[in-house]
Chain A
């Protein structure tokens, strides 16, 4: 039973399209994250929610909008996709926000053509 699951695993789409990536965790954690791993393999935080409240919002284009309907889910919606959005997107969760280890999903490979 996967602890942090994200769908889809692969996403290939055209520039200008809107797409969503879904994430669910069954660990009972309070905090969820979106990380982006770019072509240079940097793993950078994008957003974090704690108990459905946004606590981290890095300098990410506002075409990216996270939504947390409940603390077990954190979805990522991307409008007007651009070539530079191609990356692997990882969802993660942690018990809380203080010095807690992260549990990652297996990633969504997004390719924008």
Chain B
């Protein structure tokens, strides 16, 4: 039962260009969405979040877009930097359930 899918296991982008990471979900009850970044041998770290009452949230170089009707979430990184090379997980949750459901992650490689 894979409620959250990140269909691109990996993505390579040139430094300075835009990185777009996608996440699709099936559970319409999800109402809060987070993105995490993970470096090797470290735990995931929080990146950015969005509530279902919004369709966009921006924080510096990172912007998350939410399309509720399509059950689709995307993370844009502009401009991409080599230090952004990591695995990115989307993690939606339904308020009141207390648990985030993590996607399988997309490995981003930013080429210098």
Do A and B actually bind? yes
Question: Quick one: closest B residue to A92, CB to CB?
Answer: B43
| B95 interface residue (CB < 8 Å to A) | yes
From B19-27, B68-76, B96-104, the one touching the partner chain is B96-104
Q: How many residues of A contact B (CB 8 A)?
A: 26
Within 8 A of A (CB), among B24-83: 32, 34, 36, 41-46, 49, 51
Residue with the highest number of chain B CB atoms closer than 10 Å, among A43, A44, A90, A103: A43
A/B pair count, beta carbons within 8 Å: 54
* Proximity bits, A44-56, B CB within 8 Å = 1, else 0: 1100101000011
From A13-21, A64-72, A73-81, A93-101, the one touching the partner chain is A93-101
CB distance A56 to B46 under 8 Å?
no
**Given A99-B32, A99-B93: A43 and B44 within 8 A (CB)?**
yes
Which 5 A/B pairs are nearest by Cβ-Cβ distance?
A104-B43, A43-B102, A101-B46, A97-B98, A99-B32
